[in-house]
Amino acid sequence: MHALLKISRLIDGMSRFIGRWVIWLILASTLISAVNAIVRKAFNYSSNAFLEMQWYLFAASFLLAAGFTLLNNEHVRIDVVVGRFSKRTQTWIDVFGFVVFLMPVCATIIYLGTPFFLQALRSGEISTNAGGLILWPVYALIPLGFGLLMLQGFSELIKRLAFLQGLIDDPTLKPVAKTAEEELAEAIRLAAEQKKN
């Protein structure tokens, strides 16, 4: 189990690294949207390539960061019933969910998405919109994103099993820290106080 925990830490590190960098795709998408709007209004010119690039970047941020979201236990959960169970029972439910649902769904989407991507790569498929972009890069995100999610699911499964064996603390507990919003509000408050002084 200790060797598996080392693998889990490597996967977690990779997911953190990807999550930190993928966030910039949202900024890039926003900037492309703003530039597209300005160019369209100022020069009466636009291209579907700008719009499609925004879609590509959003798809990349969503798919590539799915594992990071799972790592941080930020995926949507409905704990109305499960929240009443003991921590061990909740962990067993997680194990069941990873093995019966998450892993098979990820494997199926990778299996079905890879030929879809390869066909687009071989054919050089281009969007049917005027000025559209090539499609294989966005199709590649499907197996890649679900592959990363599956890896993180494997890491989470290892951690849940290690927790059940008493080898590690509860992997679902988050360290008590300020949220990004709380940190921003604190920085604004401090800046306002410094201006007064």
Tens-place pLDDT, residues 23-61 = 899 999 999 989 888 988 888 887 788 888 888 999 999
Tens-place pLDDT, residues 74-100 = 877 777 777 788 889 988 999 999 999
Model confidence band, residue 173 (pLDDT cutoffs 50, 70, 90): confident
Q: State how many domains the chain has.
A: 1
Rounded CA gap, 156 and 93, in Å? 13
Q: In degrees to the nearest 10, what's the CA dihedral of 70, 71, 72, 76?
A: 10
Q: Which H, E and C letters describe the chain, residue by residue?
A: CHHHHHHHHHHHHHHHHHHHHHHHHHHHHHHHHHHHHHHHHHHCCCCHHHHHHHHHHHHHHHHHCHHHHHHCCCCCCCCCCHHHCCHHHHHHHHHHHHHHHHHHHHHHHHHHHHHHHHHHHHHCCECCCCCCCECHHHHHHHHHHHHHHHHHHHHHHHHHHHHHCCCCCCCCCCCCCCCHHHHHHHHHHHHHHHHHC
At 194 the pLDDT is 85
Rounded CA gap, 68 and 11, in Å? 10
Residue 150 token pair: 């599956």
Residue ranges making up the domain that contains 51:
2-76+85-196
